[in-house]
Structure 1
Amino acid sequence: MKKFLKNIVRVILFLLIIAAGVIYFYVPRLVIEMKNPLLYKERPIDVTYSEVFPNGEEVTITSYDGILLNGYFVPAERDTAKGTIILLHGIRDHKESYEELSSKLSKEGYNTFALDLRAHGKSEGEFNTYGAKERKDVSAVVDYLKEKGYKNIGVWGRSLGGAIALQALGSDYRLGFGVIESTFSDFNTVVHDYTKLFVGIDSYLFSDFLVKRAGEIGEFDPTIVKPLASCKHINQPVYMSHGTADDRIPFTNGQQNFKALASAQKEFEAIPGANHGNVWYIAGDAHFYKIINFLNSTTSKK
């Protein structure tokens, strides 16, 4: 019996060691490793940017740390563009999700540069750092557009892309305006919210651990990923929207970000009843033209 109990204890200890190792080394990777085999499901691309916009140009840009970023430039359907907008997609998505928006913006007189975020799509990189490194990637795109002679450069981001856009606006004042959709205010908080949503664990101790380890594995400082703090340094015009029934990033995040904006020209649109994924379905074309009117009033002054 004693030998049997000892064997049971050994098995339990072994399993606990394995579990601890998985939690310490693997689970935090689920937060930042975009193509992790456990979570990654490649989103099909029905048609590429080059097929939809043969008059555009696929571009490869080298970021500050040597990562190659893939993007696609679509010119405006007019001789003189009103401005150029960098489009930033959401988590585990790719630039092709913005093909329809690029078409609409082109017709309205805006160039667009749709970017595959690092670790997404055709861009290099293993880890998503939620803006710690991506804000500098946006600056690399601005460098490229400036070298090409484009003016009135702004940024449009959705969800993760919105958080990156806010951080870029707060650190690179060459960006003249921003459109921010359904984004979070703080990295630590959003990790907590998502952990609670998917795992059912309501523990800041656990989410704090995930954030710390994710930073160590991804080699970035998670304490600087605070879009809310970036808002206090943003003076550029910003249009912000958020669904009131957002089931991923609470509506209050959008309200907090908007209130913190230092911008003299800013506008907030609450989308009644919209969750995280159906803002455009609920809001319709009226939402798009509200943004266009805002952009036109901004770029006409430059």
Structure 2
Amino acid sequence: MTALIIIGSILLILLCALTLFGFLAFKRSFSRKIYEGEQFDAAVKKVGKRPYYKEYAKGIYWFRDFKDKEEVTIQSRDGLKLHGYYFTNPDSNGRVMIMCHGYRSFPWFDFSSSAKDCLERGFDLLFITERTHCESEGKYISFGIKEKYDLMDWIDFVIKKQGSNAKIILSGVSMGSSIIMFALGENLPHNVKGAVCDCGFDSPKSVIGFALIKVFKFKHLAKFVSNFVSFASFIILGKFLGSENTRKSLSKCKIPVMIAHGKADDVVPYEMSVKNYNYLKGEKLFVSSEKAAHGLVYYYERDEYLKNLDKLIEICGLSNDN
């Protein structure tokens, strides 16, 4: 009997410790990150020693200095003021790309170089800043669980701005890609014609579990501990981390999708994009890179990336010739 009490006490202490860890991990990983200094300089600093540093920096300041841009806002369904930048192309004829940045990042960082290529293809560009990032309000990031509804509201914003003539391609990097993939399972307006999903994860729970491997070293232990972070998410956000997954959403997708991922990615496993590609039932493209780390496929495989982007635009009927 004494032994059972001791074992029970140990298990209870362990359970309490893991629950506490789950809440601390949630607070650490899901809260807003504060960057020092002016936001564009902060983005350049974030580049650090990344490959293609000069290209990143040049693109970030191109974004800052672009003349024909407008700051825009919407209100989220839970009352947050969300901020974005709208770049106007006089030749767009209602074609718009909505750009979704990654976790704790900036739109002018993740699209620092590719944005110019998209603009040159005749699109207006809407760079959204996701909840709990930059000028947008919010206390916690939800890894796509709530952000997918924010994206749907941005889609409505574009349709109101452009009218029934709006023709939209969604483009995302990292978490922004996952936000798009989760939204693709919803009943989106017919104005949404295609999507670009670069290095996105298949569910918030699985990517948190993958990140925890660096802490706990063992895959199965990390996966087990991720359940406690998911529980914290349920208590704080009202949703478990596994409530969104691409297997559920992409099986409902009816529009063409281009997926990109680098095999050297140690933030979001390459295999997640392979899964995402296989979940898709419609027209789809895949751009792979042997050397590209997280979010760098565009830089390592620029020609192949743009060739497939042009093909996607053509499949969607949105090329300059149409």
Q: 1:161 is matched with which residue: 164, 173, 176?
A: 176
**CA offsets per residue over residues 28-59 of structure 1, 9 Å max, x none?**
21232132xxxx55584136787422212110
- The 8 Å contact of residues 114 and 298 in structure 2, kept in 1 or not, is answered as no
Shift of 1:172: 3.7
Q: 2:91 is matched with which residue: 41, 62, 78?
A: 78
Q: 2:292 is matched with which residue: 269, 274, 281?
A: 274
Shift of 1:173: 2.1
* 2:197 alignment counterpart: 180
Supply the RMSD in Å over aligned alpha carbons: 2.6
Give the distance between the partners of 1:106 and 1:240, measured in 2 at CA: 20
AA partner of residue 190 (structure 1) = V
Unaligned runs of 5+ in 1: 1-14
- Percent same amino acid at aligned positions? 24
Shift of 1:24: 5.1
* 2:21 alignment counterpart: 23
Q: 1:232 is matched with which residue: 243, 251, 257?
A: 251
Unaligned runs of 5+ in 2: 1-12, 42-59
* 2:8 alignment counterpart: none
Instruction: Decide whether aligned partners of structure 1 residues 107 and 64 sit closer, same or farther in structure 2, where only a CA change above 3 A counts.
Output: same
* 1:131 alignment counterpart: 144
* 1:152 alignment counterpart: 167
**CA offsets per residue over residues 105-129 of structure 1, 9 Å max, x none?**
1111011100101001111001111
- The 8 Å contact of residues 182 and 241 in structure 1, kept in 2 or not, is answered as yes
Q: 1:68 is matched with which residue: 81, 85, 88?
A: 81
Matches within 5 A, 1:22-61: 22-23=20-21, 25-35=23-33, 41-42=35-36, 44-46=39-41, 51-61=64-74
Shift of 1:96: 1.7
Instruction: Decide whether aligned partners of structure 1 residues 21 and 268 sit closer, same or farther in structure 2, where only a CA change above 3 A counts.
Output: closer
Give the distance between the partners of 2:18 and 2:92, measured in 1 at CA: 61
Q: Does 1:210 align with 2:205?
A: no
* 1:192 alignment counterpart: 209
- The 8 Å contact of residues 101 and 107 in structure 2, kept in 1 or not, is answered as yes
Shift of 1:70: 0.5
**CA offsets per residue over residues 49-93 of structure 1, 9 Å max, x none?**
874222121101111111111101112252625x21110011010
Shift of 1:136: 0.6
* 1:113 alignment counterpart: 126
**CA offsets per residue over residues 208-240 of structure 1, 9 Å max, x none?**
111121232233342322123211110111011
* 1:87 alignment counterpart: 99
Shift of 1:149: 2.1
Give the distance between the partners of 1:286 and 1:75, measured in 2 at CA: 26
Q: TM-score, normalised by structure 2?
A: 0.79
**SS of match in other structure, 2:124:** strand
Give the distance between the partners of 1:198 and 1:161, measured in 2 at CA: 25
Give the distance between the partners of 2:155 and 2:14, measured in 1 at CA: 49
Give the distance between the partners of 2:136 and 2:288, measured in 1 at CA: 33
Q: TM-score, normalised by structure 1?
A: 0.84
- The 8 Å contact of residues 152 and 299 in structure 1, kept in 2 or not, is answered as no
AA partner of residue 98 (structure 2) = I
AA partner of residue 23 (structure 1) = F
